[in-house]
Amino acid sequence: MSEFLIQSEQHGAVRLLRLNRPEALNAFTAAMLGQLRQALEAAAEDVTTRCVLLTGAGRAFSAGQDLADPHVAPSRESANLNQAPKDIGHMLEQFYIPLALRLRSLPVPVVAAVNGVAAGAGANLALGCDLVLAGESASFIQAFSRIGLVPDCGGTWLLPRLVGRAKALELALLGDKVKAAEAERLGLISRVLPDAELQDAAMALAQRLAGMPTRALVETRRALDDAMRLDYEPALKREAVLQSQLGFAHDYLEGTAAFLDKRKPEFKDR
């Protein structure tokens, strides 16, 4: 049994978080979800951290909710004994929703390095990250329909936005395994890499993002998400508001000065 269900390492300005229950394909228990939330908060509070990189230990990214966790596992006798089943919605309210929201509102960009299978909530947590890289042997499974549930952890919101309604329904209804190459072709993820190169490439990408103007990147994430529900003109106006704000910030002054001075910029805003 792993003591640290989430391993945290600092690599310069990159906080690497590794899901660490490899014996169960990093399936989420309540304790693990709690530790992941704490690890994200710690990264958010540390002003020297400018990018988070999320990956899994062992051969999987995450198999989603641990179906044996006593918080959710139905009693095998419940049908016979007429016991009330557990309300698994509570698990979502208590753990997954705050986690999904925090991932999407973190003050730094988040990269997922999907190193193996990502199923159920594991898939959708990965897909909710800002940039998603996957090893060529990785796969994505909307496993929910296989066990009589709907996609959660943002799946119903993310899937149609990423791949359109037709493919989203195919993925969600059938719950078939989508290999990394197909996930890239569909637009579900950013990029596929040879397995042996995944971790180094993901770290290089995270380091690159960490050297960029963090505040502008985070506002870009928010603007793109918001624009999905805005008409064209309000989206244009929102861009103008954001440019007004960013135009007074250090990083814009530094970025333009560095360009004119022909030197590398040093961004600081977060």
Q: Which is nearer to ligand T3D, 33 or 198 (CB)?
A: 33
The least CB distance from residue 153 to ligand T3D, in Å, is 6
The least CB distance from residue 181 to ligand T3D, in Å, is 18
The secondary element (H helix, E strand) that includes residue 223 is helix 214-227
Q: Which is nearer to ligand T3D, 120 or 128 (CB)?
A: 120
Q: How far is CA 241 from CA 2, 223, 236, in A?
A: 47, 11, 9
Q: Which is nearer to ligand T3D, 88 or 181 (CB)?
A: 88
Residues 189 and 180: beta-carbon distance below 8 Å:
yes
The least CB distance from residue 20 to ligand T3D, in Å, is 14
Residues 137 and 107: beta-carbon distance below 8 Å:
no
* Amino acid identity, position 262: K
What six digits make up the tokens of 24? 């169960």
The least CB distance from residue 149 to ligand T3D, in Å, is 6
Q: Which is nearer to ligand T3D, 23 or 266 (CB)?
A: 23
Q: Which is nearer to ligand T3D, 42 or 173 (CB)?
A: 173
The least CB distance from residue 143 to ligand T3D, in Å, is 4
* Amino acid identity, position 141: I
Look at phi and psi of residue 82 and say left if phi exceeds 0, alpha if psi is from -120 to 50, else beta. Answer: left
Q: How far is CA 28 from CA 33, 56, 112, 120, 190, in A?
A: 6, 12, 16, 10, 24
Q: Which is nearer to ligand T3D, 88 or 201 (CB)?
A: 88
Look at phi and psi of residue 185 and say left if phi exceeds 0, alpha if psi is from -120 to 50, else beta. Answer: alpha
| Angle made by CA atoms 227, 96, 231, in degrees to the nearest 5 | 10
Phi and psi at residue 26, in whole multiples of 5°? 55, 35
Footprint of ligand T3D (CB under 6 A): 24-25, 27, 63-68, 72, 88, 91, 117, 119-121, 141, 143-144, 146-147, 149, 152
The least CB distance from residue 52 to ligand T3D, in Å, is 21
Q: Which is nearer to ligand T3D, 56 or 109 (CB)?
A: 56
Write down the residue that tokens 């999320």 correspond to. Answer: 54
Q: What share of the chain is helix, strand, coil (3-state, %, to 5)?
A: 50, 15, 35
The least CB distance from residue 180 to ligand T3D, in Å, is 14
